Chains A and B, each alone.
Chain A
Amino acid sequence: MTIATLSAPSDKQAAENQWAVETHGLTKRFGENVAVNGVELLVPRGCAFGYLGPNGAGKTTLIRVLLGLTQADAGTMFLLGQQVPRHRDKALARVGAIVDEPRFHGHLTGRQNLRILAAAREPEARDRIGPSLERVGILHRADDKVAKYSMGMRQRLGVAACLIGDPQLLILDEPMNGLDPAGMQDMREMILSLVAEGRTVVLSSHLLDEVERTCDAVAIVDRGSVVRQGPISELLAGASLALEVECSDPDRARALISATTIGTVEGAEVSAEPTGLGVTLPAGTGRDVVAEVNRVLVEGGISVYRLQVVQASLESWFLQVTSRLGSP
């Protein structure tokens, strides 16, 4: 592993670094399997950052490497401006994380578990136990044994464990797992409130809808590599344009569109459906094309009842990206 021989930056220098997470060429292998493959990741401070990828893409492994739970084989990484693992203690002092399913000592209460974790942190952490439990909404169950907690409550306790360190950076791996709809709503609001306080939240999740509603920027990881990253709005602007057309005689409508220049554009797809047409146009297609579709259909004697531009969702974009990558 490449380790830069840098001295520890001062707290001020580290705080001025604009990246909460910065990795270069980060690689982790398990035998022949490359779980993290030269990852270049830049997570800006003060935002909610989604980290997406299909199962087995290496999301959790990257998080484990970042947190020093396992060692990297190559590359450099910085958390809050501090190089890890060289200055791991300084970096993790202001980091809170949930990795995989949060598990605790079942024979202890939630509060006692947090006391153990607070003791490993700075002395002030103990004073934050109560407020953290209150913030995640389990203060009333704080003195119950964790063995009696539901999965959702353990998730909340995991977040409380993060908060006792007053973290600048939170790394949450699938924090919505086990939460009911109300719990997911609470978690979403809490993440947004944490970001509003100026903290950075890195959210690894397979719930694309949640990520889209919560995060400002995302990175897509596939087969161990980050293949896209950036603000969601920018990334979706590069997604294909979809039109839903409700009309009479869908088969003839499809033939009309296919016969025009619209249908011959590379990447365009026209499909007949029972109630109309589905038209997919490549990224960057202008709004004029929408009017052109309408004109061709009307002039061809097709009754157009509804024509709607479907905004690309993160999910559809994610599927586009990962399916394209997955194709031979």
Chain B
Amino acid sequence: MTTVPDLGASAPAPSAPTAKPDHRGSWIPSGGMISTRFMELRKRRGLMIALIVVIVGIPTVFLAIRLLLHAFAPHTYGPAGGSAIYGALVSGVLYVFGFIMAATLGATAGSADLSEGMFRHLVVTGRSRLALYAARIPAGLAIIVPLVAVGFTIVCAVCVFAAPTTLSYQGVNVPVGLSSAGLQTWAADHSDEVICNFGIRIEPSTPNAAALNEVLNSTPCGNGPGAPGIGKQPPGVQGQSPPSQAQISQAARLIAGMNYSDYARQFLYPSTALMIKSGLWLELEVVIGFAVGLGLGSLIGQRTVAVVMMIVLEVVLTPILSRARIPHLSNLQRAVVGLATAHLSPGGLPVLGGGGGGPGGAGGNPGLLPESTTVAVCVIVAWLVGWTVLGAWRMMTRDA
């Protein structure tokens, strides 16, 4: 028997229904939702400390130590900054750890509501689940993007302002920024150092090859460990008359000319263009890391598992798949996002960990699996869109 109760059926409502529409069913999150989500993430003290330590702290401490060492013992320890240090910190620290930390933040944003029981409260508000998911994207990026910018700015500042004053090229201190003629003039004045240290490749087509060989054979370099010369001969052969100073200077000019294209790529500190490109490239990397972490965290509902998977992807799988030649699976390898971002790395950046673009960008690294820029961009877009769709789909269909 079911009796329909007749209690208070005509009782008045506490207040009239909301007069203003609040677009609760819209997939677009409100500004308030984004700002409170930002607050929720920012208040995670442990996570924020980890982010700051890794993204800002490690480069800062490393550079601070180098600054101090150079200040107290400048002859023993070189300048703190410079192009090489810049490349190492950008490619070795900010690129790899930036991705991992962004993924950690994303995985936290994607799974915290669920694991901490807040998801149910949010669903009961009637707000679109898609909007709940979408609010996390700008909120998370508002944390990780500026943080990477801060770390990167510190690296740039130190590398530029504490750069060496002379360029060490092939072990020889060379003035920076010389033209081809300028380098040859300088080489004529430092002929012994140039002949003994600069790279030399003599081919049959090389002009004045015979005279050059004669000078090389007569110059007493010693072939020490610091002499990388190619085709260099032992010290002067008995019975030959020593070359004149003019011949030696001419040989030095020739050798300088051979090395100019390589020399021209050397800088005391990164150029403005390189820094801008590197900064944008790093931000792209952390955006990808965050989006993938968010999608994965939302998909599996757990932070730890998602973070471990992202670390394995970045530190283990990407380097292997970027360089291995697996027959018939090249296209699958190209679908790895780390390889795609490495191919977009700015020229002049050595990529040490997460995939590697190498000097001159990806094209300059013969070890990297070849991939066109178009394919790389498509792979990145596919990862961004794919993981976002997956995470949003799971959020919409998940039991709360």
A residues apposed to B, CB below 8 Å: 11, 14-15, 18, 40, 42, 44-47, 49, 64, 67-70, 88-97, 99-108, 112-113, 115-124, 126, 161, 165-168, 195, 197-200, 216-217, 226, 228-231, 234-235
Contacts and interface: CB of A to CB of B under 8 A. Distances in A.
Contacts of B126: 88-93, 95, 121
Nearest to A92: B126
Contacts, number: 177
B3 A116 contact: no
A197 B14 contact: yes
Q: Which of A15, A95, A122, A226 has the most CB of B within 10 A?
A: A122
Nearest to B12: A198
Contacts of B16: 11, 15
Contacts of A123: 20, 22, 32
B18 to A, nearest CB: 5
Contact of B36 (A14, A115, A234): A115
By DSSP majority rule, is chain A's interface helix, strand, loop, or mixed? Answer: mixed
A104 B2 contact: no
Given A107-B45, A226-B2, A161 B121 contact: yes
Given A15-B13, A123-B22, A42 B5 contact: yes
Given A69-B399, A92-B125, A123-B22, A107 B44 contact: yes
A115 B11 contact: no
Contacts of A68: 123-124
Interface in B40-88: 40, 43-45
B207 interface: no
Contacts of A49: 5
B36 A231 contact: no
A46 B37 contact: no
Contact of B124 (A92, A101, A168): A92
Interface string B18-41: 101010110000101101110110
Contacts of B120: 69, 99-100
B43 A165 contact: no
A67 B399 CA distance: 11
B13 to A, nearest CB: 5
A284 B125 CA distance: 46
Contacts of A42: 4-5
24 contacts: A44-B5, A45-B9, A90-B126, A92-B125, A93-B22, A95-B124, A96-B124, A99-B120, A101-B117, A103-B118, A104-B116, A112-B39, A115-B36, A116-B37, A119-B36, A120-B122, A121-B24, A123-B20, A123-B32, A198-B11, A199-B13, A228-B2, A230-B4, A231-B5
